[in-house]
A and B are shown apart, each in its own frame.
Chain A
Amino acid sequence: MDTLRKIYRAKSDFYPRMVFDKENASFLIEGRSLPEDSDAVYSPVLEWLDDYSKQPNDETKMVFNLEYYNSASLRKFADILKKLKEIGDVTGTKVSAVWYYEDGDESSVENAEDLMSSIGIDMEIKVVGE
């Protein structure tokens, strides 16, 4: 598993910055996620997680820090969290998530709560900058 490649994707107007790096224990999606074709953006991440699941770190903390996202992305966030939950359940490693929202953005909080309860994953919901 030492050969597991890293995902580093720079952010742009429509796509988020993404980091999936086992070695540095960094798992991050941030910025804007507005792709029309969410498969193209998130399939590599889901495939990466499949590989990662074979030998995950003792602790995996997934960070979402999004300015805007569309509903197609929200569905992919659910898929990512589902996969992480599975990794935790199967391997017994610690898996959790952090969801940052801008102060006052209730619908972001609502989405986070929905994700947490529908997937059943441990998630901290925090205001950006705190």
Chain B
Amino acid sequence: MSDTTNSILYSELGGDDLSFVYLGKFDNSVLGFATEILKGHLSKTVESEGKKNKLSFLMIESFQNILRYGLAGRAAEMTSGEVFIVRKHKGSYYITTGNYVENVNIGPMREKLERVNSLSPEDLKKLFMMTLQNKKISKQGGAGLGFMEMVRKTKEKLDFDFVDVDGERSFFYFQLRLKDNPEDDSPALSISSAKSIKKLMEQNGRFIALKGDFRQSAINPILSMAENNISAESLRTQRSVYHILVEMLQNIARHASQTEDGRREGMFSMGYDNGSFVVSASNGICPADAERLLEYVGRLNAMTREQLDDYYKRVLREGHDDATISSGLGLIDVARDSIGGIDCNVDGDGEVRLLSMTAKL
């Protein structure tokens, strides 16, 4: 059966210039690699230092909010489904977090959020200054100041929702919007989109998804993240995982149809599915190339391990018999390592189709 996770995610994130989704347990190392990955993407799209700093601030604050307001003790089974999403969608940046909170804490949190949302810019400034001078620090360590700064920096109200989980805990969704153009009065992206994304990722065992530009400079931070974060039982498995990642990501960069401004649009997701490590990569592609690749992957999938090894050596020695498939070594490599071959499918019916490949280890 074909793995359609990437194509479903791709359509959920449709209209995004950039999407980064992380689902899992939060700690500062996640914040570290999330900011590195996003920096690779943002440097090309965000023009001013001011906006870049503002975005970093908002990301860091929302992220630390999760650590601050998350459940005490934060047992692994209660934090595994937490979510952090950054999207550039129709001229606005959205930062969304989702984490568990105890229901007894909802009242004070809601009160704080609603108070910050209800204040005029002048009153907010007044409260902000008073808080700066005040020596008394709120129980959660300055969260009030964090919320105030978020509103002051985005000039937007804070969007949030609590979804009850089991009568004792709720899932707290929190979303910020930073407009590229302050005059933009288009409606905001609904928090329900984050809910669908979380559900999709959870159902398909993915913990990272990234949609955007996949030129080499943008994929380097993903690779270093992977290098530091993939834990496998053996070094050999770890190397194979890393190797497949490199090939799949570079495959997007190589095959993706290029946009006018030189972007190589694609999407990548990674996770664990039934005990296997799984990587999916998708990119836009013209119908003729899609046909050729499907046929080529079909041929690779039909080969035995020995045949693949021989074919690999032959291509290495003589070059590829099909010049349209560049060096072609990468896919042979992925086919050699992936359980059950490469899962490949094409979606859409226009001039640009979506090609998705999934490998399992």
Q: Is B28 an interface residue (CB 8 A)?
A: yes
Whether a CB of chain A sits under 8 angstroms from the CB of B60 is yes
User: Which of A18-26, A55-63, A70-78, A92-100 makes up part of the contact surface?
Assistant: A70-78
Given contacts A118-B129, A118-B133, contact A70 B53 (CB under 8 A): no
CA distance A72 to B144 in the complex (A): 10
Q: How many residues of A contact B (CB 8 A)?
A: 31
Contact A107 B50 (CB under 8 A): yes
| Complex Cα gap A106–B53 (Å) | 10
Contacting pair B133 A78 (CB below 8 A): yes
For residue A104, which residues in chain B have a CB less than 8 angstroms away from its CB?
48-50
A70 touches B28 (CB 8 A): no
A103 in contact (CB, < 8 A): yes
Question: A102 near B: Cβ within 8 Å?
Answer: yes
CB 8 Å contact bits of A9-36 with B (1 = contact, 0 = none) = 0000110000000000000000000101
Cβ of B146 within 8 Å of any chain A Cβ, yes or no, is yes
Point out the residue from A38, A68, A103, A105 that lies within 8 Å of B141, measured CB to CB.
Answer: A38
Chain A binding surface SS class: helix
CA separation between A72 and B141, bound complex, in Å?
Answer: 7
A36 x B145 contact (CB < 8 A): no
Q: Is the CB of B64 within 8 A of A70?
A: yes
Q: Which residues of A contact B32 (CB under 8 A)?
A: 13-14
> What distance in Å separates the Cβ of B61 from its nearest Cβ neighbour in chain A?
6
Give the most central of B61, B132, B148: most A CB within 10 Å.
Answer: B132
Q: Which residues of B contact A91 (CB under 8 A)?
A: none
How far is B57's CA from A103's CA once the two chains are assembled, in angstroms? 16
Interchain nearest-CB distance for B229 vs A (Å):
15
CA distance A47 to B68 in the complex (A): 25
**Interface status of A41 (Cβ within 8 A of chain B):** no
Structural contact, B132 and A115, CB atoms closer than 8 A:
yes
- The one of A39, A71, A106 in contact with B149, judged by C-beta atoms closer than 8 angstroms, is A71
If the complex has contacts A107-B50, A108-B53, are A118 and B132 also in contact, measured as CB distance less than 8 A?
A: yes
A70-B133 in contact given A102-B49, A107-B54, A114-B128 (Cβ < 8 Å): no
Partner of A105, one of B50, B135, B148: B50
The smallest beta-carbon distance between B58 and chain A, in angstroms, is 10
Distance A72 CA – B56 CA, assembled complex (angstroms): 15
Judge whether B28 and A75 touch: CB under 8 Å. no
| Complex CA–CA separation, A67 to B60 (angstroms) | 13
Contact residues in A for B49 (Cβ distance below 8 Å): 102-105
Least CB distance from B345 to A in Å reads: 39
Q: How far is the CA of A79 from the CA of B145 in the complex (A)?
A: 14
Tell whether, in the assembled complex, residue B132 and residue A75 are in contact, meaning their CB atoms are under 8 Å apart. yes
A36 touching B128 in the complex, CB below 8 Å, given contacts A71-B145, A118-B133? no
A43 within 8 A of B: no
Residue of B at shortest CB range from A76? B142
- A interface footprint on B248-281 (CB within 8 Å = 1, 0 otherwise): 0000000000000000000000000000000000
| In the complex with contacts A104-B50, A107-B53, A117-B153 CB distance below 8 A | no
CB within 8 A of A70: which of B60, B130, B131, B152?
Answer: B60
Q: Let me know if A71 and B132 touch, CB within 8 A.
A: no
Closest CB of chain B to A72's CB: distance in Å?
Answer: 5
In contact, A72 and B50 (Cβ under 8 angstroms): no
Task: Bits for B110-139, please: 1 = Cβ < 8 Å to A, else 0.
Answer: 000000000000000100111111010100
| Given A71-B142, A72-B145, A107-B53; 9 other pairs, CB 8 A cutoff | A36-B67, A70-B60, A71-B145, A72-B142, A78-B132, A104-B49, A105-B50, A107-B153, A114-B129
- List residues of A whose CB falls within 8 A of some B CB: 13-14, 34, 36-39, 67-72, 74-75, 78-79, 82, 102-108, 110, 114-115, 117-119
List the 4 closest pairs (A to B, CB-CB), nearest first.
Answer: A104-B50, A71-B146, A105-B50, A118-B129
A-binding residues in B (CB < 8 A):
28, 31-32, 48-50, 53-54, 56-57, 60-61, 64, 67-68, 125, 128-133, 135, 137, 141-142, 145-146, 148-149, 152-153
Instruction: List 16 interface pairs A-B (beta carbons < 8 Å), by A numbering.
Output: A14-B32, A38-B142, A68-B53, A68-B56, A70-B57, A70-B146, A71-B149, A104-B49, A105-B49, A105-B54, A106-B50, A107-B53, A107-B57, A108-B53, A114-B128, A118-B130
